[in-house]
């Protein structure tokens, strides 16, 4: 796939938005680990390079150090890194005082997020060498970083260069590939939420960007049976799908094309567990399970012919109590008003049939469940080690932690009951 060509096609989009993606070069191929040094040189990386990895990702990227002949390489190798924290961002930045010109991040997730934030702060070039098709943040302009046990989304940079060796991706741990598949299925909920918000609030929307996400998601959906096999083709398709939705998100400068209410719900659970110092699951595992819950809820809408809508009734004392230590941050997003305040309930009633059409535009819960099962994904809250109480709480309360309209949030304004968990 020619990503440069694709990015060009979105210039001068009829929607009027300026769609940009600052990734300079994307190299995906079998055995290209041996070419990493050459790719960095071609993309103007200086000779003084910081290589950040953990022991697992470095050994997965066999041959990468050899390819860096001619570079002065400083290494920062973690035993393992499951959480990106401000402490680690500062640690990476401290290397820049020693004349480091660019960073090669080997891995995904926390290693990548840490480097994206550090390089953004210090204006250093960044290359991501991805070792697994596990999440969708490759092209993102923001990074979730934990500071004092709070996870905050900071401005970060997207890497100038992304490299993926499909042979390495195929050999990556199966749970990471399955997590990537789960993260892709979330796009169905994201697409529903984005379109529903556009219907009800007139939120900015681009049908071409939405179509890009839908196509990438459908392609990955159709690869479900290849996820757990050591298939280069399967791993490549998932990686491309994740990358494309990342590019879609950079086009809109919002996460709308790739993340809906299921991501917020996963975020809620993660924040609550961080307070208790629990090590988070892989992002796509939690997100996949939340996706199924949302699709089940959204499915319940299809059974209705009409709906009765009313202004949302919020008990803020109860909401604050449930958020606990997170309440002040949550309240900032709901003060002086909350996102549903400006919504005329009759708009929901009038648009109900259009909302149902939006829900029908993506596969049903049953179909996504079957695909995720084939793909080796975790499917229930028990599979991801959560209690029913926490999931129920997250399902009810998560919408308040983001100032963004979802169909899940709109249900609060209708007589449609929430599903039993
Ligand atoms: Zn557009
Ligand atoms: Zn995600």
Give residue 303 CA to ligand 2 midpoint distance, Å: 29
Asked whether residue 92 is domain-assigned, the answer is yes
Whether 196 and 334 share a structural domain: yes
Residue 76: which of 43, 104, 101 has the closest Cα?
Answer: 104
Q: Is residue 181 part of a domain?
A: yes
**Among 125, 148, 172, which residue terminates a domain?**
172
Please tell me the distance between residue 184's alpha carbon and the centre of ligand 2 in angstroms.
7
Instruction: Give 157 Cα–ligand 2 centroid separation in angstroms.
Output: 17
Q: How many domains does the chain have?
A: 2
- Round the CA-based radius of gyration of the chain to a whole number and report it: 21
Looking at the structure, tell me whether residues 115 and 101 fall in a common domain.
Answer: yes
8 Å CB contact between 146 and 274:
yes
Ligand closest to the CA atom of residue 210: 1
- In this prediction the pTM is 0.94
Residue 398's pLDDT is: 97
pLDDT in the model for residue 420: 95
What does the pLDDT read at residue 32? 98
The answer to whether residues 306 and 378 belong to one domain is yes
Q: Are residues 273 and 392 in the same domain?
A: yes
Residue 393: which CATH number? 1.20.1090.10
Nearest listed ligand to the Cα of residue 285: 2
Q: Are 109 and 134 a contacting pair, CB within 8 Å?
A: yes
Q: Are the C-beta atoms of residues 242 and 183 closer than 8 Å to each other?
A: yes
**Between β-strands 25-29 and 72-78, what pairing exists: parallel, antiparallel or unpaired?**
unpaired
Q: What is the pLDDT of residues 22-68, one digit of tens each?
A: 899 999 999 999 999 999 999 999 999 999 999 999 999 999 999 99
Across 287-316, b (16+ Cβ under 10 Å) vs e yields: bbbbbbbbbbbbebbeeeeebebeebeeee
Measured in Å, residue 259 CA sits from the centre of ligand 2 at: 6
Claim to verify: residue 124 and residue 195 sit in the same structural domain = no
Closest alpha carbon to 115 in 95, 132, 131: 95
User: Are 187 and 324 part of one and the same domain?
Assistant: yes
3-state DSSP call for residue 213? helix
What is the distance in A from the centroid of ligand 2 to the CA of 227? 17
Among the three residues 172, 197, 215, which one is the final residue of a domain in this structure? 172
Q: Is residue 420 part of a domain?
A: no
Predicted local confidence at residue 56, as pLDDT: 96
Predicted local distance difference test score (pLDDT) of residue 100: 96
DSSP 173: -
How close is the Cα of 137 to the center of ligand 2, in Å? 7
Do 66 and 189 fall within a single domain?
no
* Contact call for residues 189 and 294 (beta carbons, < 8 A): yes
State the distance from the centre of ligand 1 to the C-alpha of 279, rounded, in angstroms. 39
H/E stretch holding 271: helix 261-275
CA of 74 to the centre of ligand 2 (A): 31
Which range of residues forms the domain containing residue 125? 3-172
Q: Which residues of the chain have a pLDDT value below 70?
A: none
**CA–CA dist 226, 228 (Å, integer):** 6
Q: Considering every ligand atom shown, identify the ligand nearest to the alpha carbon of residue 260 and give its number.
A: 2
Same domain, 286 and 378: yes
CATH of the domain at 108: 3.40.50.1970
Query: Quick one: what percent of the chain has pLDDT higher than 90?
Result: 87
Which ligand lies nearest the alpha carbon of 266?
2
Residue 127, helix vs strand vs coil = strand
**230 domain-assigned:** no
Whether residue 68 is found in the same domain as residue 151: yes
Distance CA 120, CA 250 (A): 16
Rounded distance from Cα 38 to ligand 2 centre (Å): 31
List alpha helices for 159-231, DSSP H: 166-171, 174-201, 207-221
The token duo for 110 is 């926390």
CB-count burial class (<10 Å; 0-12, 13-18, 19+) for 389 = exposed
Would 419 be classed as within a structural domain?
no
Whether residues 87 and 136 fall in one domain: yes
């Amino acid at each position: 796939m020619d990503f440069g060509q694709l990015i060009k096609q979105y210039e001068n989009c009829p929607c009027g938005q300026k769609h940009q993606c600052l990734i300079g070069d994307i190299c995906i191929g079998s055995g290209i680990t041996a070419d990493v040094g050459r790719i960095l040189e071609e993309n103007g990386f200086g000779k003084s390079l910081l290589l950040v990895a953990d022991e697992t990702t470095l050994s997965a990227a066999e041959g990468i150090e050899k390819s860096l002949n001619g570079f002065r390489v400083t290494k920062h190798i973690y035993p393992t890194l499951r959480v990106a924290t401000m402490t680690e961002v500062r640690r990476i930045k401290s290397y820049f005082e020693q004349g480091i010109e660019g960073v090669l991040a080997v891995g995904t997730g926390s290693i990548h997020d840490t480097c994206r934030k550090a390089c953004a702060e210090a204006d250093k070039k960044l290359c991501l060498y991805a070792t697994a098709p596990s999440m969708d943040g490759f092209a993102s302009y923001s990074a979730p970083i934990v500071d004092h046990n709070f996870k905050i989304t900071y401005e970060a940079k997207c890497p100038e260069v992304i490299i993926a060796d499909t042979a390495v991706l195929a050999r990556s741990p199966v749970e990471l590939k399955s997590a990537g598949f789960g993260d892709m299925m979330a796009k169905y909920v994201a697409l529903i939420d984005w379109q529903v918000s556009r219907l009800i609030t007139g939120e900015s929307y681009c049908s071409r960007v939405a179509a890009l996400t839908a196509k990438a998601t459908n392609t990955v959906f159709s690869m479900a049976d290849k996820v757990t096999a050591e298939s280069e083709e399967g791993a490549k398709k998932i990686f491309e799908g994740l990358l494309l939705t990342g590019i879609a998100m950079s086009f809109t400068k919002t996460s709308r094309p790739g993340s809906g209410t299921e991501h917020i719900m996963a975020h809620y659970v993660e924040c609550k567990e961080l307070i208790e110092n629990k090590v988070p699951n892989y992002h796509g595992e939690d997100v996949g399970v939340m996706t199924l819950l949302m699709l089940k809820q959204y499915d319940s809408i299809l059974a209705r012919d009409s709906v009765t809508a009313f202004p949302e009734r919020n008990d803020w004392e109860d909401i604050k109590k449930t958020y606990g230590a997170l309440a002040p941050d949550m309240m900032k997003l709901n003060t002086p008003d909350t996102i549903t305040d400006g919504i005329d309930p009759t708009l929901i009633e009038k648009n109900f049939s259009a909302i149902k059409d939006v829900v029908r535009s993506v596969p049903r819960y049953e179909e996504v469940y079957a695909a995720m099962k084939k793909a080796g994904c975790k499917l229930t809250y028990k599979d991801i080690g959560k209690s029913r109480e926490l999931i129920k709480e997250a399902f009810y309360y998560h919408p308040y932690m983001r100032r963004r309209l979802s169909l899940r949030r709109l249900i609060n304004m209708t007589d449609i009951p929430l599903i039993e968990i």
